[in-house]
C-alpha cells in the first residue's frame, strides 16, 4: 500500500509555506484559504485605511505588547500573547502571513514573536502592501475580528530575546556581534531620536547594519546572495548575533535577514534603544560605524 502526502489544497492538512517570506503571487493564490490568517502588522505611523482583502489588524502597540514594561513593543507574557492571537482566530493548524504598510518594517516582528513561542507556520509578505498595490491587486477595508476565537497556545522561549545585561555581555564577548538596525545617522548620533529623552549615539562595540540595507528601494528583501554578503561583511562567521533597533521592530528585520542568510544563533534585544538610550549608566558612543 502506498500513502500520498497531503497537498496544500487538502483542507484537513496545514497550509504549507514556501519559506519565511512569501510573494504576492503566493498570497493571491491562497487568499481565500480558510487555513490562512492574514494580518496587517503595520505600525501606527505606516498603517493605511486600505487593506489586502481579509486582513485583520494586529496591534503591536496594543495586545501584542507588554503594557507593564514601560517600553514600546516588548514581548507580552504568554497568557496575553495567547489571548491576543486567539482573538485573531489563530488556531494550532493555522498559517499566518504578516504584512506591513511600509514594505518591510514591523511585520517581521510578528514572524519573530510567533516563532519564539513555538509557532512555525508564519511568514512575512515580501514588499508588503506597497508591492500588492503596485500590481493593481484588490484592496478594501480591514476584516472584523472573527466570531470564533482560535485555540493556539503560545509560550515564548527565552533564548529568542535578550535583556540589557545580556547585550552588555555580548558587546564584551569575542564571539558575538551586536547589530544595530537603526539608520546610520541615528547610530552616529547625528540624527535625533524619534522618542524624547533618549541619548543620541550607539552602544560601544555595536555594528551598524540599517534594516534598509537588507532591502531594495521598494521594500523587497534583497536576493539571498546579497543578504549573505551583507551579513558576511558585518558579522564574523560563527559569531552569535544580537539585533537591536529603536523599539524592537526593525531588529526583527535583521533577525529575518540573518535567518535567510543561514545564521541561526540570533536573538533580539527587546528593550533596544528605548531602554539602553535612556539617561543612566549604560555606555553610549557617538560617531559613525
Quote the CA–CA distance of 1 and 266 in Å, as a whole number.
Answer: 44
> Is the confidence at residue 229, as pLDDT, over 50?
yes
**pLDDT tens per residue, range 171-186:** 999 999 999 999 999 9
User: Looking at the structure, do residues 129 and 175 belong to the same domain, yes or no?
Assistant: no
Q: Residue 15 falls within a domain, yes or no?
A: no
User: Looking at the structure, do residues 177 and 217 belong to the same domain, yes or no?
Assistant: yes
Q: Residue 282 falls within a domain, yes or no?
A: no
Q: Confidence class of residue 45 from pLDDT cuts 50, 70 and 90?
A: confident
Q: Residue 171 falls within a domain, yes or no?
A: yes
- The CATH number of residue 99's host domain is 3.40.250.10
Domain boundary among 105, 123, 156: 156
Q: How many other C-beta atoms are found inside a 10 Å radius of the C-beta of residue 171? A: 16
User: Looking at the structure, do residues 82 and 169 belong to the same domain, yes or no?
Assistant: no
Grid cell digits, residue 216 = 531594495
> Is the confidence at residue 2, as pLDDT, over 50?
no
> Is the confidence at residue 12, as pLDDT, over 90?
no
User: Looking at the structure, do residues 73 and 56 belong to the same domain, yes or no?
Assistant: yes
Q: Residue 10 falls within a domain, yes or no?
A: no
Mean pLDDT for 31-55 is: 94
Domain that holds residue 237: 159-276
Q: Which of 30, 188, 23 is nearest to 104 (CA)?
A: 23
User: Looking at the structure, do residues 53 and 72 belong to the same domain, yes or no?
Assistant: yes
Q: Residue 287 falls within a domain, yes or no?
A: no
Q: Confidence class of residue 81 from pLDDT cuts 50, 70 and 90?
A: very high
DSSP string covering 30-49? HTT-TTEEEEE---TTT--S
User: Looking at the structure, do residues 118 and 240 belong to the same domain, yes or no?
Assistant: no
User: Looking at the structure, do residues 97 and 132 belong to the same domain, yes or no?
Assistant: yes
Please tell me which residue in 152, 241, 245, 258 is annotated as part of the active site: 245
Domain boundary among 118, 141, 156: 156
Domain boundary among 96, 125, 156: 156
User: Looking at the structure, do residues 88 and 180 belong to the same domain, yes or no?
Assistant: no
Q: What is the pLDDT of residue 287?
A: 85
User: Looking at the structure, do residues 82 and 167 belong to the same domain, yes or no?
Assistant: no
Contacts with 37 (C-beta within 8 Å, 6 or more apart), sequence order:
56, 88, 89, 90, 94, 95, 96, 97, 150
Q: Residue 255 falls within a domain, yes or no?
A: yes
User: Looking at the structure, do residues 25 and 152 belong to the same domain, yes or no?
Assistant: yes
Count of the separate structural domains present in the chain = 2
**pLDDT tens per residue, range 110-125:** 999 999 999 999 999 9
Grid cell digits, residue 154 = 503560545
Q: Confidence class of residue 10 from pLDDT cuts 50, 70 and 90?
A: low
User: Looking at the structure, do residues 53 and 99 belong to the same domain, yes or no?
Assistant: yes
> Is the confidence at residue 133, as pLDDT, over 70?
yes
Beta strand ranges found along the chain (DSSP E): 21-22, 36-40, 56-57, 95-99, 122-125, 161-162, 176-180, 207-208, 240-244, 266-269
Q: To 5 degrees, how large is the angle CA 70–CA 85–CA 31?
A: 130
User: Looking at the structure, do residues 36 and 106 belong to the same domain, yes or no?
Assistant: yes
Q: Confidence class of residue 288 from pLDDT cuts 50, 70 and 90?
A: confident
Q: Residue 240 falls within a domain, yes or no?
A: yes
Q: Residue 228 falls within a domain, yes or no?
A: yes
245 carries an active-site annotation? yes
Q: What is the pLDDT of residue 34?
A: 97
Amino acid at each position: 500500500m502506498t500513502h500520498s502526502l497531503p497537498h496544500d489544497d487538502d483542507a484537513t492538512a496545514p497550509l504549507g509555506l514556501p519559506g519565511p517570506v512569501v510573494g504576492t503571487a503566493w498570497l493571491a493564490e491562497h487568499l481565500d484559504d480558510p487555513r490562512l490568517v492574514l494580518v496587517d502588522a503595520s505600525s501606527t505611523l505606516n498603517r493605511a485605511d486600505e487593506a489586502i482583502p481579509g486582513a485583520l489588524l494586529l496591534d503591536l502597540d496594543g495586545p501584542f505588547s507588554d503594557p507593564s514594561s514601560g517600553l514600546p513593543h516588548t514581548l507580552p507574557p504568554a497568557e496575553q500573547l495567547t489571548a491576543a492571537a486567539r482573538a485573531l482566530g489563530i488556531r494550532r493548524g493555522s498559517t499566518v502571513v504578516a504584512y506591513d504598510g511600509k514594505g518591510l518594517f514591523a511585520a517581521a516582528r510578528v514572524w519573530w514573536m510567533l516563532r519564539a513561542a513555538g509557532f512555525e507556520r508564519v511568514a512575512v509578505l515580501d514588499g508588503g502592501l506597497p508591492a500588492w498595490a503596485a500590481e493593481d491587486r484588490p484592496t478594501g477595508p480591514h476584516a472584523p475580528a472573527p466570531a470564533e476565537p482560535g485555540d493556539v497556545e503560545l509560550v515564548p522561549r527565552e533564548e529568542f530575546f535578550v535583556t540589557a545585561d545580556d547585550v552588555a555581555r555580548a558587546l564584551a564577548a569575542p564571539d558575538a556581534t551586536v547589530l544595530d538596525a537603526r539608520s546610520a545617522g541615528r547610530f552616529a548620533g547625528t540624527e535625533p531620536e524619534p522618542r524624547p529623552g533618549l541619548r543620541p549615539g550607539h552602544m560601544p562595540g555595536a555594528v551598524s547594519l540599517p534594516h534598509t540595507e537588507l532591502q531594495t528601494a521598494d521594500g523587497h528583501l534583497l536576493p539571498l546572495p546579497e543578504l549573505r554578503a551583507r551579513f558576511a561583511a558585518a558579522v564574523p562567521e560563527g559569531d552569535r548575533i544580537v539585533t537591536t533597533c529603536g523599539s524592537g521592530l526593525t531588529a526583527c528585520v535583521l533577525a529575518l535577514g540573518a535567518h535567510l542568510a543561514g545564521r541561526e544563533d540570533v536573538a533580539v534585544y527587546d528593550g533596544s534603544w528605548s531602554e539602553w538610550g535612556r539617561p543612566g549608566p549604560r555606555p553610549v558612543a557617538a560617531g559613525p560605524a
